Amino acid sequence: MTENADRLSRRARETPPSGIRRFFELAEEMDDLVSLGVGEPDFSAPWAARAAAIDSLERGRTSYTANRGRRDLRERIAAHVTRYDLSYDPDDEILVSTGASEAVDLAMRALIDPGDAVAVPQPSYISYGPTVTFSGGEVVPVETHAENDFVLTYEDLERAGADEASILVLCYPNNPTGAVMTREELAEVAEFVREHDLFVLSDEIYAALRYEDEHVSIATLPGMRERTVVFNGFSKAYAMTGMRLGYALGPSEVIDAMNRIHQYTMLSAPTTAQFAAIEALDSCDGAVEEMRREFDRRRQFVISRFNEIGMDCFEAKGAFYVFPKCPPGWEDDEAFAEALIREERVALVPGRVFGDGGAGHLRVSYASSMGELKEALNRIESFVEDR
């Protein structure tokens, strides 16, 4: 067995295990665990979407689709994204992928040459860094700061030397912080991007989960459409994580390059999921709004409780995460999360897992029932008080 370890590629050997792995293993051992470490909705996909998937199977629609995804789905996606003032041609500017994650990977591979620098704001979703590395690129971490509510600024980019990068990755509403960016804040970032001729990969998978105002895509800002690929999908808004269906919107030459890689690797996204997605876009706005309202109530509850407990929590306005600070006396988020799971059986994810910018914080998902949230917060409160 050991000699096979030597056969592994350098990239495989050098890819560290995900930082959440250890907490997942700890959680696995626990009975009576309350987990706020889950990055997916606790709802099921709307029934109409599930029924469409079943119907497609009953009709025997189990073959590959066009590499770019079914044309009727791409048409609906084009119509759907007009709500964010985005306009893309279903023929050559949209690619349906196996989850938004695949689309991100395809874009990295289509745009990165070995040695290219890619600016990745931190804290950020755990897959961006490794996918940059898999493509031969080098990550330039750009720290965002709690005092700015984890919004990316022109100064953050400048300080990190992002002008040397060829690509900037954005994720707003943000996993893990729940931060959102306003049009004005994005305009500042867009200015930097244009000045230094960067290309933007904008992961907007949480666009529908924004609580106090409308989502703004950086691709709608002047001069940005031609230098941006936008990612979205059905996992978060429609609670269809297991269906693995996402999409990319972008300039035709980039989408075409991504499709070339896609046709040699995935061929096409899952057919059953594509039928579910068509129905989701046709008839499930009401279900999405119901979930959004429920998440909003939980969000306000969780933020309020953390602040009462003394774990400073800024007002996250998107996704389904909040990002409180460790309580006074705890500097090390991993130590806190580990002690909490061992002693109180509550799973949170240490902020450091999402990059150094997340150190001293914890990612808390409120995609759990109110009963579980109350129980978890009560246990956290008693843990903090006992110290």
Partner 1 sequence: MEAKRELLDLLLSDARQSTEDIARQLGVDAATVEKLVDELESEGAVRGYQAVVDWDSVDEEHVRAEVELNVELDRETGYEEIARRIAKFPEVSSLRLISGSYDFAVDVEGESMHDVSNFVSEQIAPIPEVTQTVTHFVMTTYKERGVYFGDGDDDDRLAVSP
Binding residues vs partner 1 (CB under 8 A):
18, 20, 23-24, 27-28, 30, 33, 35, 37-40, 42, 125-127, 175, 297-298, 300-301, 304-305, 347, 349, 370-371, 374
Residue with tokens 């666009």: 207
Nearer to partner 1, 157 or 364 (CB): 364
70 with 96: CB under 8 angstroms? Answer: yes
Partnered with residue 233 across adjacent β-strands are: 246
How many other β-carbons are positioned within 10 Å of the β-carbon of residue 223?
Answer: 11
In sequence order, the 6+-apart residues with CB closer than 8 A to the CB of 163 are: 157, 192, 195, 196
| Number of residues that make up the chain | 387
- Closest to partner 1 by CB, 280 or 349: 349
Minimum gap (Å) between residue 371 Cβ and partner 1: 8
CB of 304 to partner 1, least distance (A): 4
Locate 149 and state its tokens: 């509510």
Closest CB to partner 1 among residues 18, 87:
18
**CA 40 from centre of chain:** 10
Among the listed residues 53, 122, 69, 116, the one whose alpha carbon sits nearest the alpha carbon of residue 276: 53
* Three-state SS at 289: helix
| Least distance (Å) between residue 303 CB and partner 1 | 8
The C-alpha atoms of residue 240 and residue 127 are separated, in whole angstroms, by 19
The residue among 175 and 268 lying less far from partner 1, judged by its C-beta, is 175
- Shortest distance (Å) from residue 37 CB to partner 1: 4
Judged by CB, which is closer to partner 1: 262, or 299?
299
Residue 36: CB minimum distance to partner 1, A: 9
Work out how close the CB of 101 gets to partner 1 at its nearest, in angstroms, rounded to a whole number. Answer: 9
Nearer to partner 1, 49 or 347 (CB): 347
User: Quick one: which of 80, 107, 68 has its CA closest to 230?
Assistant: 107
Q: Please, which residue, 88 or 211, has the CB nearer to partner 1? A: 211
CB of 242 vs partner 1, minimal distance in Å: 9
Q: Determine contact, residues 269/68, Cβ cutoff 8 Å.
A: no
Distance CA 99, CA 302 (A): 29
